[in-house]
Amino acid sequence: MSQSQADSLGAAPRERSEFPADDAAELPPAPEIDTTKPHIARMYDYILGGKNNYAVDREAAEKVLAASPHVRVGARANRRFLIDAVRWLAQEAGVRQFLDIGSGLPTQQNVHEVVQAIDPDARVVYVDNDPLVRVHAEALLATDPNTIVLEGDLRDPQALLNRPELRDHLDFSQPIALLLVAVLHFIQDTQQAYRIVKTLCDALPPGSYLAISHVLKDEKQEGPAAQARAMYSRPGFGAVPRTKDEILGFFTGLTPVGDGLVHLADWTVPGKSIDHAGDRKVVAVDDPAALRRLSGMCGIARIDR
Ligand SMILES: C[S@@+](CC[C@H](N)C(=O)[O-])C[C@H]1O[C@@H](n2cnc3c(N)ncnc32)[C@H](O)[C@@H]1O
């Protein structure tokens, strides 16, 4: 993975002085949480400046950051896309149900917070295959009846769709926004990834939406960030950068919204009618030159069939 290819996994590392003095004192919140191996969700959390991570995650993330310093901007740009996209989906497209797969750990400006600020009755289902995500999200969501979290795997979309909790929480006769943000590149096989997206989209009614972001393959920049590639290509991580055409394949049969699938740096809210000033503070992408160098694509499409 080149320097910029790692960017959509992003980075906003804390200063070393912020590390806990004694990592051994960092006890997992539940026995099923493995703190001996780095986890994608926790590395991403660390990279975004969150606190839900362990020494092993910080160490792994720092290696990626050392090889690919622009990762920080990438994570922020990706998160900004997610926030802006769900706000547009709720505010402008009128969607009231959100299925966020590969949701990551709760951090600032979570999907349910953004959409429930527009409509407190908006319903959200978070799905992630990292048990830590469920543990943290359940604590965060204890008093929110409109948001649930499921431990589940994108690689088995039919099993996910069959989950009674999902069926109870979302009304599949009404539009649903499917969020696959910074997660499809963890599906190694491109044809499998297409099948997954098709299975999920086929289950959604017309008027639903798909929002994705994905690491873009940039062959010109091979080499300098070999460490980052090695890190993300390890079994268990396995982020697979894809070409523009391969990423475009995820929108096959769907109607692109606004400019469709674009470079992360070029994405704008369809219609540009929303004032984002407040959000820029949370996920400020304050380095325009770095933003330009990012290799990630993102966009929204509508399911019209
Ligand atoms: C880089 S984070 C993205 C978080 C969030 N979507 C965002 O963009 O801010 C990727 C998340 O995908 C999750 N993930 C990776 N493979 C997955 C799979 N097969 N099924 C469900 N979640 C997965 C990871 O645990 C991690 O939380």
pLDDT tens digit sequence for 179-218 = 999 999 999 999 999 999 999 999 999 999 999 999 998 7
**pLDDT the model gives residue 51:** 84
**pLDDT the model gives residue 34:** 83
**pLDDT the model gives residue 246:** 97
Ligand 1 close to Cβ of residue 296 (< 6 A): no
* Sign (positive or negative) of CA dihedral 282, 148, 128, 105: positive
**pLDDT the model gives residue 220:** 60
Q: Which position has the token pair 């809210």?
A: 269
**pLDDT the model gives residue 129:** 93
**pLDDT the model gives residue 127:** 96
Query: What domains, with CATH codes, occur in the chain?
Result: 72-303 (3.40.50.150)
Q: Which position has the token pair 């006769």?
A: 173
Residue 248 contacts by C-beta under 8 Å, 6 or more apart in sequence?
Answer: 261
Ligand 1 close to Cβ of residue 182 (< 6 A): yes
Ligand 1 close to Cβ of residue 196 (< 6 A): no
Ligand 1 close to Cβ of residue 82 (< 6 A): yes
Mean pLDDT on 6-34: 48
223 or 26, higher pLDDT: 26
Q: Per mean pLDDT, which of 70-84, 216-230, 281-295 is the most reliable?
A: 70-84
23 or 160, higher pLDDT: 160
Q: What is the DSSP letter of 13?
A: P
